[in-house]
Structure 1
Amino acid sequence: MKPFLLISRSAEYETRLRSLLGSRLAVVPGEFLMLGPQTVVERVHHQPRIALLGPVLNFEETRGLVGELTQRYPEIGLIVVREQRTDLEDWVDDLPLHAVLSPHAADSTTTELLDRLSGWLVSNGRAVPEDFEEPPASEVGEVIAALVHGSPDAEPLNEADQVEAGSESQPFEWEFPPLESGVPSEAIGVVAPKGGQGKTTIAVNLATGLAEVAPNSVVLVDADLQFGDITAALNLTPERTIVDAVADSAQDELVLKTALTHHSDGFFVVASAPSPELGDAVASDALGHLIERLRETFRYVVVDTTPGLGDHTLAVVEHVTDAVFVSNMSVASLRAMRTEFQLLTTLGLMPSNRHFVLNQVDKMSGLTVKDSEALVGAPVDVAVPKSSAVLLASNRGIPLIHDDVRDPAARAVRSVVMRIAPEAYPKRTKIQRRWRSNGTE
């Protein structure tokens, strides 16, 4: 019997808690959350009485775990391990928690809180005193997870996790849909000459649409290293970013995958740097290396770039199979796009698969699509009409093609997806609305 369960991304905190609770503690690494909270809870092979969630878990991950744990173990006690921050009150209001514990709390404070919650569970008939006693020596070797942050002293799997009867214990391996034999991985860079062209909107919806035909085999990289806002557009709160993804420690495949944040539409995100200073520290060659490494695992790698043709954007263009160029209908942007095309052609860096998207097409702009083509010197592949639905979807944190599938802009963006994957024909006929954490549509 292991009455205490820890789900955390902090190896340091796990070590502290193990020293306090010993064999009474079961652990599932928080990295499993990229496979969903249900997968994490399925790794729990004992009935826990108290679960500690965190540190280094975001609100959505914590909420998902709370839902799965309370459904499976209605009598469980729940503690969030988190620093005192301004939004802590929102967590307490929205989640059925029993306590909040600072990860920096003294061992005596942690032990006292666990004892108090254990006593409360017993007094309310949710547990019995024997649940919290030290297990017999025969049970000490049983564990919940085989791999804990890659530590060499990870405990062996129990019998339920043996690959075959009588086989040796093996560590859990990350499971992504395997790339089919003969099917190449594709990388798509989304490029714009200036900011404000709608580049991020195209990148987000491109990843969303591709994930429909390759679920969990699409990764969206926010390589706008100074002011990337993909996580804001998707209402995500990542714990790790591209800075972690290109770090030396990320040469380990498992560590690299922990830098990914999963989106409910079936794709992964590498978030932009948390500050311009940290973004500037990401080398352009490291970005190119990251793209190549991701292509070893994912069917599609979509990269949102920094506006213009700086070193990082050029590094992206060098490592992609397709480039989606985005411009609005302003004369300045169209002329800048023409200059980009000429420069990339001169440098020999123009990807063989080029897609020109004319965004925010408006009859009142004074230009036509033909005028835009003349200014750029290249045909427009997809014209996306100006629409208020784009801003509404972004403010909701929902990709446009899943927010209002009948909107003309959504249909046009869908055609961008189909240029990469023709089989990504929309199968949904109704507008999809998603409930958010605040209970509103």
Structure 2
Amino acid sequence: MTRFLLVSRSAEYESRLRRLIRARLQIVPAEYVTFGAEAVVDKVVGQPRIALLGPLLSFEETKALSESLSARYPGIGLIVVREQRSDLEDWVDGMEIHAVLSPDAADSTNEGLITRLDSWLAVSGRLPDDGEEFIDESEVEEAEGDDVLVALLNPQFERESRPALEETDLDDESEPEAESEPDPAEPEWILPPIAENVRSEVIVVAAPKGGQGKTTTAINLAAGLAEVEPNSVVLVDADVQFGDIANALDLEPHYSLTDVAQAGTDEVALKALLAHHDDDFFVIAAPPSPELADHVTTASLGALLDRLATMFRYVIVDTTPGLGEHTLTALEHATDGVFVTNMTVPSLRALRKEFELLVALNLVPNNRHIVLNFVEKNNGLLRKDAETIIGAQIDVEVPRSTAVVLASNDGVPLIHHDVRDPAAKAIRGVVLRIDPTAVPTRKRIHRKARA
């Protein structure tokens, strides 16, 4: 008999919950959400009492599912399973859910919360008491509060249910952060100050290592700037061997950087070789295979960037990780440099070495923006430690978020895929540093909505 429902994209969490609940659990793969929330609800068998939504569901998907399930099964208990906590107030606003649970919560926490919600639904009269117990509560160990992002979101559920689980603060701002000391062996070094009042044109996104979020940053910069400068933004994938911007945007361009770099300076001929994205910006894809990278010389790349700067308001360049010759060429022609790193000591030190070399070569762009990506608490480092290692101030912190993966899998820029996600809001901050007029508005975002 279906008593509990799970809609999820996580095979690991599905396996855990199936082991806990066994035959009374029905799982509907979240892939059905692509066809709308009603397609998911139509797959449900019987009368579920509690639905768990997530992990790896976006805000819009979760909201649509909660509304459809509540309409089809009045009184159903709703638990959202997700790991982010910084934006919970946005999720709770207007969404009829009872609790938010971490996918990493202990089995005892899962059992305890589901048991309490199931009992409360019967006691409060929302659902009939069928006399069946989920699990003997005497077997449930007391759960740690840190396992639950928000144990009790629904105020009535909070007042009326037995407070066996400790409530977690929504803002989580009062939690003391563990102090950590900068590496005492780190020599003192300060990155020179940036220039002022330099107009942005060629924006190079660079990172000392792969996997820092460089390509995601470049894509969302293009999408955000195109909101205020439609069709006057071009995104160049200068990762000449393994660039994947076309894949991340679900584009199938007919031409690549190899063709464009050899096309000469005629504006009409150049624009005919560019791919156009639905979000009103143009894309020059990387060569389709690594061996074609040899056809893109540093001289042709530099000449192309200079020519594009006369045709477009913003030229955004995604680069090869590290400081290869094509990356150095791009930085030589850049007005802005967006440098991306994550919050690990090896990556921070690598960025510092990159800056030291660029200063020695006099290739630090006039405008500089440092993005600290994949930020999460309790990893042993604080922002001030990262700034000490780099020798420069961090401009934007981007929290770790599964929404980045979901947006990439759908081929949509994050800032248009899940506008409420904290990572999307942080990346908006990078866009605003380039163009302060690029303030997101409902009209700008909603005109990008997909069918």
Contact between 2:267 and 2:311, CA under 8 Å: does it hold in 1? Answer: no
For 2:442, what is the secondary structure of its paired residue? coil
Mapped partners of 2:301, 2:399: distance in 1: 33
The alpha carbon displacement at 1:434 in A equals 4.8
2:218 aligned to 203, 220, 226, which one? 203
Contact between 2:241 and 2:291, CA under 8 Å: does it hold in 1? Answer: yes
Contact between 1:405 and 1:430, CA under 8 Å: does it hold in 2? Answer: no
Q: Normalising to structure 1: TM-score of the pair?
A: 0.55
Counterpart position of 2:204: 189
Counterpart position of 2:413: 399
Contact between 2:265 and 2:307, CA under 8 Å: does it hold in 1? Answer: no
Matched, 1:268 2:282: yes
Mapped partners of 1:310, 1:431: distance in 2: 36
Aligned residues: 253
Deviations 1:29-52 (A, max 9, x none): xxxxxxxxxxxxxxxxxxxxxxxx
Moved more, 419-428 or 273-282: 273-282
Contact between 1:188 and 1:324, CA under 8 Å: does it hold in 2? Answer: yes
Q: Say what the alpha-carbon RMSD is for the aligned residues.
A: 1.8
Segments ≥4 residues shifted beyond 4 Å: 429-436
Contact between 2:416 and 2:449, CA under 8 Å: does it hold in 1? Answer: no
Deviations 1:150-176 (A, max 9, x none): xxxxxxxxxxxxxxxxxxxxxxxxxxx
Matched, 1:411 2:436: no
One-letter amino acid of the counterpart of residue 322, structure 1: D
Q: Which runs of 5+ in 1 are unaligned?
A: 1-182, 437-441
- Superposed, 1:215-364 pairs within 5 Å as 215-247=230-262, 249-364=263-378
For 1:309, what is the secondary structure of its paired residue? coil
For 1:413, what is the secondary structure of its paired residue? helix
- Superposed, 1:64-75 pairs within 5 Å as none
Contact between 1:242 and 1:259, CA under 8 Å: does it hold in 2? Answer: no
Q: Normalising to structure 2: TM-score of the pair?
A: 0.54
Mapped partners of 2:225, 2:332: distance in 1: 22
Q: Tell me the percent identity.
A: 61
Mapped partners of 1:424, 1:435: distance in 2: 21
Deviations 1:6-42 (A, max 9, x none): xxxxxxxxxxxxxxxxxxxxxxxxxxxxxxxxxxxxx
For 1:425, what is the secondary structure of its paired residue? coil
For 1:365, what is the secondary structure of its paired residue? coil
Mapped partners of 1:313, 1:271: distance in 2: 16
Mapped partners of 1:431, 1:304: distance in 2: 24
Contact between 1:210 and 1:421, CA under 8 Å: does it hold in 2? Answer: yes
For 2:311, what is the secondary structure of its paired residue? coil
Q: Which runs of 5+ in 2 are unaligned?
A: 1-197
Mapped partners of 2:380, 2:403: distance in 1: 22
- Superposed, 1:23-34 pairs within 5 Å as none
The alpha carbon displacement at 1:184 in A equals 5.8
One-letter amino acid of the counterpart of residue 266, structure 2: D
- Superposed, 1:49-88 pairs within 5 Å as none
Mapped partners of 2:310, 2:443: distance in 1: 34
The alpha carbon displacement at 1:371 in A equals 1.3
The alpha carbon displacement at 1:252 in A equals 3.1
Deviations 1:105-125 (A, max 9, x none): xxxxxxxxxxxxxxxxxxxxx
Mapped partners of 1:230, 1:416: distance in 2: 19
Counterpart position of 2:399: 385
One-letter amino acid of the counterpart of residue 412, structure 1: A
One-letter amino acid of the counterpart of residue 332, structure 2: E
Counterpart position of 2:47: none
Contact between 1:405 and 1:429, CA under 8 Å: does it hold in 2? Answer: no
One-letter amino acid of the counterpart of residue 372, structure 1: A
For 1:363, what is the secondary structure of its paired residue? coil
One-letter amino acid of the counterpart of residue 298, structure 2: S
Contact between 1:223 and 1:303, CA under 8 Å: does it hold in 2? Answer: yes
The alpha carbon displacement at 1:435 in A equals 4.2
One-letter amino acid of the counterpart of residue 438, structure 2: A
One-letter amino acid of the counterpart of residue 238, structure 1: P
Q: Quick one: structure 1 residues 389 and 429, their matched pair in 2 at CA, closer, same or farther if it must change by over 3 Å?
A: farther
Mapped partners of 2:249, 2:450: distance in 1: 14
Deviations 1:224-273 (A, max 9, x none): 111101111111100000000011x4333322112200001000000001
Mapped partners of 1:189, 1:199: distance in 2: 10
Contact between 1:207 and 1:218, CA under 8 Å: does it hold in 2? Answer: yes
